Every structure is written in structure tokens, then in C-alpha cells.
């Protein structure tokens, strides 16, 4: 694959980076990223993934835009209120870069449909808001051999973890949280609140990690950091990193699988 002169101009500031270069930019153009959940995390992550030159994006979200979303979900505007998030996100992407290949789904992701919704992705970025959905996505990623970036945010704290549970020595998301969760077993920003800029920091950091995953083996942007959970603190501010060990008894990626 080669880049047109217009694409070379668009991504010139990437290409001059030795850690990306022309080969890295071509790899980004060839890549497919699935973004599950287009809310506080998925919205800014999607903007920076598109801006980076990721060529194909699969968008999954069954929700509609509410006026209360606009405080942190920066991809949407007042005119999107009442419309589906996936379709609204595709409209933003079409206005931003009409060269992108976009697939959208407004289905609620389940263990049954997750495999088809992430099929063909080089990496999945999950920004959904409940454990049942996150575990369904993680299980599908392990089965398909697709790396997963799982991100969460609330109040003044964000979390971004990189999981490659399909690899023999790496943890999956279920190793991290276990499996004793109900569908509604998550705090919500409606109850606890959230600083909008915190969602932006977490989402953009998740996009950076996704770009690292895509470029691994092609460019020298850095180690994807499998099994590491980065905790972002908006009040200090600062970031700390936790290592997630593979659970030998994990029913998804362990010996019990």
C-alpha cells in the first residue's frame, strides 16, 4: 500500500517522527480498530484514532445521545441529541475524513454477537460501562486472538489496560476482574459524577495505546505493555502502573479454558 500525496501532507507530522515514519503511517492506514462504546472514552479515542490515520474503524454502541452526554462526549453536538451514537459518530467521521472506511452497529453487544462485531480487527478498544459487556468483549477477543484495550473512567480517575490473553503468558481482562459480576454491577457517572476533561485524558491515552499496538513490529513507538493497567489520577495529577498476572484458573484464558 502507498499513500497519496494528499495523505502524505495530512500525516506529515507523523511521518517525520522516527518512531512512526512512512512505514508506520502505511501500517496505520491498513489497520482496523473496533471501538466498543462511543461515550466518554470512545468519543475522544475515536477522534484521535481517526486523526492518526487508522484506515478502518468499526463502531459499536446501542445508545442514543442525551444532552447530559455533551459535557464529556466531545464527538457529539446538540443536533445529535436523540439520535443513535453510532450513526452520529459515523457522521462526524465522514465530515472529518472521507477516506475512512467505517462500519457501524447499534446492537447491544452480547456473548453471542461479540465475535462478529470485532471480526477482522487488529485491536479492540472497549470503553463500555458494565462488567458483563466488558467480559463478553474480552472473551471474544481471546477466542479470536485479538488484543484488547479496556478503558474506564469515573470522577477524577481513569484506567487503561492492555490485554493479550490469547498469548500463553499474558493475562486477559477476566484475569483482572474475575467473573462474579452482574450486568449492572458498575458505578455510573450519573450517580458519581465525572470531570469531562478526565474522560478526554483517558480516551486519548487509550488511543495512544491502540496506536502502539497497531505499530508493534513495524515501527519503534514502544511496547504495547501487555498485562499493564495504567491508573490516571486527575487530582494529583499523576499516573501509576499495575501489573496484572495471568490467572491459571481463568475460565477464558487459563488452564480451565
Annotated catalytic residue within 172, 189, 250, 253: 189
The cell numbers describing 93, all together, are 467521521
Instruction: Give me the count of residues in the chain.
Output: 257
What per-residue string of b and e applies to 48-57 under the rule 16 or more CB within 10 Å gives b?
bbbebbbbbb
Q: Decide if 189 is catalytic.
A: yes
Please state whether the peptide bond connecting residue 77 to the residue before it is cis, i.e. omega within 30 degrees of 0. no
Beta partners for residue 57, in sequence order: 33, 102
Place of cell 508493534: 216
**Cα-Cα end-to-end distance for the chain:** 39
Instruction: Quote the CA–CA distance of 109 and 128 in Å, as a whole number.
Output: 10
Beta partners for residue 124, in sequence order: 34, 148
How would you class 174 by CB atoms within 10 Å of its CB: exposed for 0-12, middle for 13-18, buried for 19 or more? Answer: buried
Dihedral of alpha carbons 94, 41, 59, 150, sign: positive
Which H/E stretch holds residue 122? none
Q: Check residue 160 and report its DSSP letter.
A: E
| Residue 220 and residue 18 in contact, taking contact as beta carbons nearer than 8 Å | yes
Active centre residues (catalytic): 189
Amino acid at each position: 500500500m502507498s499513500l497519496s500525496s494528499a495523505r502524505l501532507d495530512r500525516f506529515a507530522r507523523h511521518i517525520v517522527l522516527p518512531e512512526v515514519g512512512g512505514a508506520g503511517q502505511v501500517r496505520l492506514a491498513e489497520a482496523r480498530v473496533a471501538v466498543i462504546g462511543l461515550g466518554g472514552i470512545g468519543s475522544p479515542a475515536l477522534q484521535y484514532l481517526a486523526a492518526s490515520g487508522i484506515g478502518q474503524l468499526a463502531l459499536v454502541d446501542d445508545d442514543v445521545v442525551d444532552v447530559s452526554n455533551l459535557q464529556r462526549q466531545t464527538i457529539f453536538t446538540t443536533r445529535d441529541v436523540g439520535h443513535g451514537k453510532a450513526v452520529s459518530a459515523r457522521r462526524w467521521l465522514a465530515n472529518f475524513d472521507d477516506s475512512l472506511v467505517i462500519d457501524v452497529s447499534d446492537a447491544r453487544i452480547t456473548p453471542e454477537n461479540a465475535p462478529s462485531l470485532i471480526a477482522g480487527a487488529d485491536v479492540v478498544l472497549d470503553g463500555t460501562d458494565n462488567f458483563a459487556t466488558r467480559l463478553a468483549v474480552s472473551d471474544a477477543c481471546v477466542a479470536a486472538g485479538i488484543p484488547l484495550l479496556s478503558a474506564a473512567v469515573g470522577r477524577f480517575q481513569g484506567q487503561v489496560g492492555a490485554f493479550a490473553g490469547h498469548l500463553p503468558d499474558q493475562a486477559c481482562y477476566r484475569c483482572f476482574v474475575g467473573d462474579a459480576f452482574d450486568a449492572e454491577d458498575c458505578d455510573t457517572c450519573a450517580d458519581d459524577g465525572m470531570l469531562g476533561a478526565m474522560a478526554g485524558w483517558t480516551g486519548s491515552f487509550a488511543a495512544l495505546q491502540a496506536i502502539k499496538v497497531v505499530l508493534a513490529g513495524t515501527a519503534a513507538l514502544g511496547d504495547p505493555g501487555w498485562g499493564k493497567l495504567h491508573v490516571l489520577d486527575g487530582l494529583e495529577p499523576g499516573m501509576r502502573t499495575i501489573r496484572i498476572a495471568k490467572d491459571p484458573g481463568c475460565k477464558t484464558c487459563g488452564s480451565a479454558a
